[in-house]
Amino acid sequence: MKLNQVTVPTLDLKRSINFYEKLGLKLIVKSEPRYARFVCPDGNSTFSLHLVEHLPKGEGIVVYFECEDLELKIKSLKNKGIVIETDIMDQPWLWREARLKDPDNNQLILFYGGENRLNPPWRIKDN
Protein backbone atom coordinates (compact mmCIF):
# COMPACT_ATOMS: atom_id res chain seq x y z
CA MET A 1 0.00 0.00 0.00
CA LYS A 2 1.22 3.51 -0.81
CA LEU A 3 -0.16 6.77 0.53
CA ASN A 4 -1.48 8.74 -2.43
CA GLN A 5 -2.68 12.02 -1.02
CA VAL A 6 -3.92 13.93 1.98
CA THR A 7 -6.89 16.28 1.60
CA VAL A 8 -7.49 19.21 3.93
CA PRO A 9 -10.54 21.44 4.22
CA THR A 10 -10.55 25.10 3.25
CA LEU A 11 -13.02 27.94 3.44
CA ASP A 12 -11.31 29.88 0.64
CA LEU A 13 -9.87 27.79 -2.19
CA LYS A 14 -8.09 30.64 -4.00
CA ARG A 15 -6.39 31.89 -0.81
CA SER A 16 -5.26 28.37 0.07
CA ILE A 17 -3.97 27.65 -3.44
CA ASN A 18 -1.82 30.78 -3.19
CA PHE A 19 -0.49 29.72 0.22
CA TYR A 20 0.43 26.17 -0.82
CA GLU A 21 2.10 27.39 -4.00
CA LYS A 22 4.25 29.69 -1.81
CA LEU A 23 5.01 26.63 0.31
CA GLY A 24 6.47 25.01 -2.81
CA LEU A 25 3.76 22.61 -3.95
CA LYS A 26 2.93 22.49 -7.67
CA LEU A 27 -0.72 22.91 -8.64
CA ILE A 28 -1.79 20.11 -11.02
CA VAL A 29 -5.62 20.15 -10.75
CA LYS A 30 -7.79 23.22 -10.30
CA SER A 31 -11.49 22.34 -10.23
CA GLU A 32 -12.98 25.58 -8.99
CA PRO A 33 -14.79 26.36 -6.93
CA ARG A 34 -14.43 23.21 -4.79
CA TYR A 35 -11.13 21.35 -5.30
CA ALA A 36 -7.42 21.67 -6.04
CA ARG A 37 -4.58 19.13 -6.07
CA PHE A 38 -0.85 19.64 -5.86
CA VAL A 39 2.13 17.40 -6.37
CA CYS A 40 4.84 17.59 -3.74
CA PRO A 41 8.23 18.77 -5.04
CA ASP A 42 9.99 15.56 -3.95
CA GLY A 43 8.59 12.12 -4.72
CA ASN A 44 5.18 11.61 -6.26
CA SER A 45 2.77 12.15 -3.38
CA THR A 46 -0.07 14.61 -3.78
CA PHE A 47 -1.87 17.01 -1.49
CA SER A 48 -5.32 18.45 -2.06
CA LEU A 49 -7.74 21.07 -0.85
CA HIS A 50 -11.49 20.65 -0.64
CA LEU A 51 -13.86 23.57 -0.14
CA VAL A 52 -16.11 23.18 2.90
CA GLU A 53 -18.77 25.33 4.53
CA HIS A 54 -17.44 24.72 8.05
CA LEU A 55 -14.02 23.72 9.31
CA PRO A 56 -13.70 20.77 11.70
CA LYS A 57 -13.77 21.65 15.38
CA GLY A 58 -11.14 20.74 17.92
CA GLU A 59 -7.41 20.42 17.31
CA GLY A 60 -7.97 19.86 13.62
CA ILE A 61 -5.64 18.48 11.03
CA VAL A 62 -1.87 18.11 11.29
CA VAL A 63 0.18 17.51 8.12
CA TYR A 64 3.91 16.80 8.11
CA PHE A 65 6.08 17.70 5.12
CA GLU A 66 9.66 16.43 5.20
CA CYS A 67 12.35 18.82 3.93
CA GLU A 68 15.98 17.75 3.67
CA ASP A 69 16.96 21.43 3.43
CA LEU A 70 14.82 22.49 6.41
CA GLU A 71 16.82 25.59 7.38
CA LEU A 72 16.81 26.95 3.82
CA LYS A 73 13.11 26.15 3.40
CA ILE A 74 12.14 28.01 6.58
CA LYS A 75 14.29 31.01 5.63
CA SER A 76 12.68 31.09 2.17
CA LEU A 77 9.16 30.92 3.60
CA LYS A 78 9.88 33.75 6.04
CA ASN A 79 11.16 35.83 3.11
CA LYS A 80 7.83 35.18 1.34
CA GLY A 81 5.94 36.52 4.36
CA ILE A 82 4.76 33.19 5.73
CA VAL A 83 4.55 33.22 9.51
CA ILE A 84 6.45 30.43 11.23
CA GLU A 85 4.79 29.85 14.60
CA THR A 86 7.54 27.71 16.10
CA ASP A 87 11.01 27.98 14.63
CA ILE A 88 13.16 24.91 14.02
CA MET A 89 13.62 22.85 17.16
CA ASP A 90 15.25 19.50 17.90
CA GLN A 91 12.58 17.11 19.16
CA PRO A 92 12.93 14.16 21.57
CA TRP A 93 11.79 11.81 18.77
CA LEU A 94 15.03 12.76 16.92
CA TRP A 95 13.48 15.03 14.28
CA ARG A 96 14.05 18.72 13.68
CA GLU A 97 10.82 20.55 12.99
CA ALA A 98 9.17 23.94 12.60
CA ARG A 99 5.45 24.64 12.87
CA LEU A 100 3.12 26.91 10.97
CA LYS A 101 -0.55 27.11 10.04
CA ASP A 102 -2.25 27.46 6.69
CA PRO A 103 -4.95 30.11 6.14
CA ASP A 104 -7.60 27.76 7.59
CA ASN A 105 -5.54 27.00 10.72
CA ASN A 106 -4.58 23.50 9.61
CA GLN A 107 -1.34 22.71 11.48
CA LEU A 108 1.66 22.15 9.19
CA ILE A 109 4.93 20.77 10.42
CA LEU A 110 7.98 21.03 8.22
CA PHE A 111 10.57 18.60 9.49
CA TYR A 112 13.67 16.60 8.79
CA GLY A 113 13.78 13.13 10.30
CA GLY A 114 16.47 11.53 8.19
CA GLU A 115 17.16 7.91 9.10
CA ASN A 116 15.14 8.31 12.31
CA ARG A 117 11.90 8.90 10.39
CA LEU A 118 11.56 5.19 9.63
CA ASN A 119 14.24 3.71 11.86
CA PRO A 120 14.26 5.36 15.29
CA PRO A 121 16.20 3.50 18.00
CA TRP A 122 12.85 2.39 19.51
CA ARG A 123 11.49 0.90 16.29
CA ILE A 124 9.72 -2.43 16.69
CA LYS A 125 11.95 -5.20 15.39
CA ASP A 126 10.71 -7.24 12.42
CA ASN A 127 10.07 -10.91 13.13
pLDDT at 127 over 80: no
The H or E element spanning position 15 is helix 13-23
pLDDT at 58: 84
pLDDT at 59: 80
Q: Please state the domain extents for the chain.
A: 5-117
Q: What is the mean pLDDT of the chain?
A: 95
pLDDT at 1 over 90: no
The matching CATH number, chosen from 3.10.180.10, 2.60.34.10, 3.40.47.10, 3.40.50.150, for 5-117 is 3.10.180.10
Closest to 74 measured CA to CA, from 63, 86, 62: 86
pLDDT at 40 over 80: yes
Closest to 112 measured CA to CA, from 77, 79, 78, 64: 64
Predicted structure pTM score: 0.91
pLDDT at 19: 98
Residue 11 DSSP one-character state: S
Span 42-101, pLDDT tens digits: 888 999 999 999 998 888 889 999 999 999 999 999 999 999 999 999 999 999 999 999
